[in-house]
Amino acid sequence: MNNLTSIEWLNENLNDKDLIIIDCRFNLMNPEQGSKDYQEDHIPGAFFFDLDKDLSSEILTHGGRHPLPNINKFAETLGNVGIDETKHVVAYDDQNGPFSARLWWLLKYLGHANVSVLNGNYIDWKEAGYETSTEIPRPNKTRFTANIQKDMVIEMEDVKEITDKDSYKLIDARAPERFSG
């Protein structure tokens, strides 16, 4: 499975019963904006996942602004929109992929191989003249079974230990303005 899906392919496959589309639009400066934008319009058949409510857990002492979600709760959220091992999940946002990539990574971490990010974003979808919808889809609930890929996570203590070693490079992928504080 490709990690990227073209907007043309997605448009041609909107009615595929094995396809689940997730709208991950979010605005860090206005956390309610993504949900409002989704209500206004979205790719037909798309469900909405909120960065704060669905793709993260509550903030604790450590873990940053958006810690990994509780795995059991997240698996339930996935199942509630019909995601199981048989489904191809396509995620999109409107900011060149940071939030849809988070869902991509989370699904990979939980062992779901068939997931991709829209190559382009919602703005590109609309500019291409493809259909949008205000209809909230009815899910076919199922059970998502997580198969945690433990090698995809490193503990904070391990990061502290390797930062002084030349054989490791730590890359901060945040936007420049967030990186610089």
E-assigned strand segments in 50-159: 88-92, 115-119
Residue 89 scores a pLDDT above 80: yes
Residue 11: alpha-carbon gap to chain centroid: 19
Q: What pLDDT score does 57 carry? A: 63
- Residue 24: pLDDT band (50, 70, 90) is very high
Residue 170 scores a pLDDT above 90: no
Residue type, 147: N
CA distance 17 to 104: 20
Residue 121 scores a pLDDT above 90: yes
- Residue 177: pLDDT band (50, 70, 90) is confident
- Select from 101, 84, 76 the least CA-distant residue to 5: 101
The CA-based dihedral angle spanning residues 110, 116, 121, 126, taken in that order and rounded to the nearest 10 degrees: -120
